[in-house]
Amino acid sequence: MIKKIRKVILIILSSFIVLASLILAYIIWIQPIDSRTADHSIGIARKTEAESKETIKVKKMPKPNSNYSSSPQSNLRSKDLSQLNLTSEFNAIKRVVYDTSTKWPRRLPKGFDPDKSMELGKNPGLHVQELHKKGITGKGVSVGIIDQTLYTEHSEYKKRLKHYEEIHALSKVPEMHGAGVASLAVGENIGVAPESNLYFIASSFADNLLIMLKMKGHDSKGDTYTNGITYKYYAQSIERFLEINKTLPEKEKIRAISISRGFNKKDNDYDLFKKALDKANDQGILVVTATLEQDYGIGIAGLGKEMMSDPDDRASYSVGSWLKENAEDYQNCLFLPMDCRTYAGITGEKSYVNDTSGGLSWVVPYLAGLYALAYQVNKSITPETFIEKAIETSDSQVVENEGKPFTIKYLINPIRLIEEIQSDT
């Protein structure tokens, strides 16, 4: 009898533990997060803490992860490589992502300096820093970003972060993507517009994390419908920025919104998103997405670059790493820096990541940052005129791609672009 009672109690306890675990998992991982400031005022709705990550000692060079990219990389973030001999691993080193926690060995490939590469990656490139020296920094212009949960405390943008809230975000902890795009747009040492103010909304394209994890793929070009995708939260986020703008002085209003993802016309609530985007555009706000061609008639693409090459030298650039195989598909796109950029990390206020193979996610905030510079020098600029000028002032450059010559028709020229827009005042 006692054994039966114990068995029943054990079953009840086990069931309780399972139920509690499911509830906890829902609260932590599945339940969306909505954090707003009091009375919907401007401010930081919730501060986020740095990710705690231990450095792991490895016995051999990690293999490239080919699951998510046609240009696989070895993940060396928070890895201790100090005991390895990497002198013959030059080709492998050319395709890595590492951070300030990576411990490098003394024996490295000839010509490779991880510290120098990290510093080179902080430069937006193409002489953008020359504009900064002239006082063209985006000062007095605000940039809005809609992305994943932000690490609010990073030194690159903490002083410029005027507003942070979450509209149906899917993570309570900061994610690398949010810090990356924020720093590339307005970072103090990294950003295209280092003195622009930052307004950031963390949001999502699914009702909950479980749905998002079940998605096997997403066609942002609009050829197929992806079950589970919804754009209503992005639409709400754009509308929220427009509400915020009503409270801001004219000289401090949000002029560019950066959203580092593509949008499929066949997915749920695309009409809501498009309506919000058009509303922002009508108010003179440039909304940059990875599918820019749907809204402004020209797509965007990313430039490739070797780790140790000069980011200001146009000859350093080629077709982006993962675009090489299908470069012809991007023939008529506007190309901007993408590969070998350094961006803010989420493991500390001074943490950084260097990524040898970027994505359009890094191109989007670059273009948004340029619009902030353009607006600073010419308050009458419109999104349409800006895009037209970006194309008109771009360079054509023949590069080597997969052993053959390839012509990049439109390679962004920031200096010429801003000077042209400034001369129209």
Tell me the pLDDT tens digit for each residue of 11-64. Answer: 676 666 655 555 555 544 567 888 888 888 999 999 999 999 899 999 999 888
Q: Where does residue 137 rank: exposed (0-12), middle (13-18), buried (19+ CB within 10 A)?
A: buried
Residue 65: the pLDDT is 77
50 phi/psi in degrees, rounded to 5: -65, 150
Q: What percent of the chain has pLDDT over 70?
A: 87
User: With 60 as the cut, is the pLDDT of residue 136 above it?
Assistant: yes
This prediction has a pTM of: 0.90
Q: Letter for the amino acid at 276?
A: A
Residue 20: the pLDDT is 53
pLDDT band (50, 70, 90) for residue 219 = very low
Q: Which of 177, 183, 260, 267 is catalytic?
A: 177
Spell out the domain ranges in the chain: 2-30, 121-423
Over range 71-99, report the average pLDDT: 92
Residue 128: the pLDDT is 99
Residue 210: the pLDDT is 60
- More confident call, 14 vs 267: 267
Over range 95-123, report the average pLDDT: 96
Q: Letter for the amino acid at 3?
A: K
What is the C-alpha separation between 327 and 331, in angstroms, rounded?
7
Over range 146-159, report the average pLDDT: 98
User: With 60 as the cut, is the pLDDT of residue 215 above it?
Assistant: no
Q: What is the chain's mean pLDDT, rounded?
A: 91
Over range 360-368, report the average pLDDT: 98
Residue 224: the pLDDT is 43
Over range 70-97, report the average pLDDT: 90
107 phi/psi in degrees, rounded to 5: -90, 95
Q: Letter for the amino acid at 287?
A: V
Which segment of 120-134, 205-219, 234-248, 357-371 scores lowest on mean pLDDT? 205-219
Residue 139: the pLDDT is 97
The neighbouring-strand residues paired with 256 are 143, 286
Q: Which of 99, 101, 132, 147 is catalytic?
A: 147
Residue 225: the pLDDT is 47
Residue 31: the pLDDT is 74
Over range 151-171, report the average pLDDT: 97
Q: Which of 237, 316, 361, 394 is catalytic?
A: 361
- More confident call, 93 vs 394: 394
> Helices 360-377 and 176-186 meet at what angle, rounded to 10?
30
User: With 80 as the cut, is the pLDDT of residue 194 above it?
Assistant: yes
Summarize pLDDT for 315-361 with one digit per residue, the tens. 999 999 999 999 999 999 999 999 999 999 999 999 999 999 999 99
Residue 223: the pLDDT is 43
- More confident call, 103 vs 214: 103
- 223 counts as catalytic: no
Contact between 311 and 125 under an 8 Å Cβ cutoff? The reply is yes
- 147 counts as catalytic: yes
What is the C-alpha separation between 186 and 170, in angstroms, rounded?
24
Residue 222: the pLDDT is 44
The closest alpha carbon to 55, from 87, 99, 113, 112, belongs to 99
Q: Determine how many CB atoms are found less than 10 A away from the CB of residue 110.
A: 6
User: With 80 as the cut, is the pLDDT of residue 369 above it?
Assistant: yes
pLDDT band (50, 70, 90) for residue 132 = very high
Residue 34: the pLDDT is 87
pLDDT band (50, 70, 90) for residue 220 = very low
Contact between 218 and 230 under an 8 Å Cβ cutoff? The reply is no
Residue 73: the pLDDT is 87
Q: Which residue has the tokens 């902890």?
A: 173
The architecture of the domain spanning 121-423 is: 3-Layer(aba) Sandwich (3.40)
pLDDT band (50, 70, 90) for residue 216 = low
Residue 400: the pLDDT is 95
Q: CA torsion sign, 56 to 59 to 64 to 67?
A: negative
Residue 205: the pLDDT is 83
User: With 90 as the cut, is the pLDDT of residue 282 above it?
Assistant: yes
Over range 260-285, report the average pLDDT: 95
